[in-house]
Structure 1
Amino acid sequence: MEHVTVAGTEVPAIGIGTWQMEPDIAYEAVSDALDVGYRHVDTAQLYENEAGVGRAIADADVDREDIFLTTKVNPRHRSVESIVDSVENSLAALDTDYVDLLLIHWPNPLADLETVMDGLNETVDREMTRHIGVSNFGKDRLDRARELSDAPILTDQVLFHPWWPQRELLAYCQREDVMLTAYSPLANGALLDDALLEEIGERYGKTGPQVAIRWATQHENVATIPMSTSQEHIAENLDVFDFKLTREDHDRVTRPSYLQTGKALFGGMLSG
């Protein structure tokens, strides 16, 4: 397993995402992931599966300290008290004393960002989380959040895949020592049958989806959290560190122009 190191913190470069999973399905997926070597798990209050994720971690033959666990605050929580209370509920559901990373899930236009960041910082002060971050923030809002936060912003979790490479945001994260956590690295499934990825994958002895995931992890400061409920695909998604795309292949995979042809699907934008 490769790691991303930002702000002196090591994070496994690939994690298991659990969006749209019922608690029992999340339990099975996280259990399978931990069995094959994942040590990075992502969930959220809005997913309503934290209890299933927590049971999987508790039942796994893996020490809690060896798992990097992320959850996200429902953005309807706009006060410091409401944020802290919601995290207390998350910790109870996850059956853990802390999470490794706590994010605000979306920017809420009705929320005061300074208050939101104060709430996240309060959870750090209370040792409910070791790190904080944001999700679905653009560059300017991320920059503002960092100005308002006493604790470092470890990551911005956003949609990131070959058809949506987030170049401006990525450059900012690389420059400012922030991790970009890529959700929907397969474009919400749209890349599963991509002919170019399949062609490149054949030369490396890999599948097209493995090429897309490797493309993501070869970027500096990028971790990714592909989602799957298939044991085979969960294992396959992790098996990408025994090859490296050449610069030419990496550049060929990056195709933001697909956004203008209607071929990229944006459903993944709602998944993080």
Structure 2
Amino acid sequence: MDDLPPIGLGTYNNTDSEHCTDVVATALEMGYRHVDTAQEYNNEVPVGNGISQADVDRKDVFLATKVWDDKLSYEDVLSSTEESLDKLDVDKLDLLYVHWPRNTYEAADTLPAFDKLYDNGTIDHVGVSNFTPEQLNEARKTLDAPIFAHQVEMHPLLQQEELQKYAREHDHWLVAYSPVARGKVTEVDTIQDIAEKHDATPYQVSLAWLKAKENVVAIPKTATKEHLQDNIEARKIDLDDDDIEAIDGIEREERIVDPDNAPWNQ
């Protein structure tokens, strides 16, 4: 399995074109090498502009986007991916995800389009997002290409033990979105105590906890240079076994992204 940088840049909700471009370019020049976007984010153009403006070779940037749930028929996957390439101004994608397995998603129709894109070199890797274990099993049986990554909400308040185990067993990455639970990790005494111990922020501790997990990477989103720096500095924090055990033992559980039509609610 190819490597992924342990902390990437999420771009959800960053729809101000000029600001989004600046954040992406700044992040790359700061040392980020993994940028995550999606068709539904409506920011593929400024994300692409940020990659172009940064003083970093395109080949050194791992770029991922996602096909939205109304574009998951075979032909729509192919045509919408071409649109994403145009908007991002790139020749190919490092990773393409099924954003949600709902609406127009049908494994037998959707996933062969991802295989075609993989086979013809348009994408280097196939990913899925927000899948249940049962849907992962179906996808693995349907795809010829290997699943490279499964993107899900994951943080100390939603630890995804079952999906962690699945990722290890089937050798794919678990890519954690909302890795600081939209700030709610600051409310947890255990995380606050560990942050004080390491002279770090609760956000950094949450990212360091994810970094310590096998087959897991995080993609925090941020809108400021200060937070970009704080997030990437979390790479330098090494939690000890007691820290990890304490966070693993947090009893509070809260899912942040939980639409009624999410697969786990069906």
TM (norm. structure 2) is 0.93
Pairwise mapping of residues 191-202 of structure 1 onto structure 2 (< 5 A)?
191-202=185-196
> What one-letter code is carried by the residue in structure 1 that aligns with 2:97?
L
Aligned match of 1:69: 63
- CA distance in 1 between partners of 2:228 and 2:204 (Å): 11
Which one of 38, 42, 46 corresponds to residue 44 of structure 1? 38
Aligned match of 2:134: 140
Which one of 134, 140, 146 corresponds to residue 152 of structure 1? 146
- CA distance in 1 between partners of 2:29 and 2:258 (Å): 29
Q: Offset at 1:140?
A: 1.4
Aligned match of 2:14: 21
Change (3 A) 1:70 1:63: same
Identity of matched residues, %: 37
Cα contact 2:211–2:235 (8 A) shared by 1:
no
- CA distance in 1 between partners of 2:88 and 2:189 (Å): 40
Aligned match of 1:267: 256
> What one-letter code is carried by the residue in structure 1 that aligns with 2:30?
V
Which one of 189, 199, 203 corresponds to residue 197 of structure 2? 203
Change (3 A) 1:78 1:241: closer
Which one of 77, 84, 90 corresponds to residue 84 of structure 2? 90
CA offset digits 1:79-120 (Å, max 9, x no partner): 211101000000000000011000010001543212111111
Q: Offset at 1:242?
A: 2.4
Aligned match of 2:262: none
Aligned match of 2:93: 99
Aligned match of 1:248: 242
Cα contact 1:188–1:268 (8 A) shared by 2:
no
Q: Secondary structure at the match of 2:94?
A: strand
Aligned match of 2:115: 121
CA offset digits 1:218-245 (Å, max 9, x no partner): 0000011001101111111011232311
Which consecutive aligned stretches of 4+ in structure 1 deviate over 2 angstroms post-superposition? 192-196, 254-257, 266-270
Q: Secondary structure at the match of 1:181?
A: strand
Q: Offset at 1:193?
A: 4.5
Cα contact 2:48–2:89 (8 A) shared by 1:
yes
Instruction: Return 5+ residue gaps in structure 2 as ranges.
Output: 260-266
Higher mean displacement: 18-27 or 63-72: 18-27
> What one-letter code is carried by the residue in structure 2 that aligns with 1:248?
D
CA offset digits 1:130-188 (Å, max 9, x no partner): 10110000111112101110111001100000111000111011111011000001012
> What one-letter code is carried by the residue in structure 2 that aligns with 1:12?
P
TM (norm. structure 1) is 0.91
CA offset digits 1:62-90 (Å, max 9, x no partner): 00000000000011113211101000000
Aligned match of 1:230: 224
Q: Offset at 1:125?
A: 2.1
> What one-letter code is carried by the residue in structure 1 that aligns with 2:35?
V
Cα contact 1:70–1:100 (8 A) shared by 2:
yes
- CA distance in 2 between partners of 1:48 and 1:104 (Å): 16
Q: Offset at 1:194?
A: 3.5
Instruction: Return 5+ residue gaps in structure 1 as ranges.
Output: 1-6
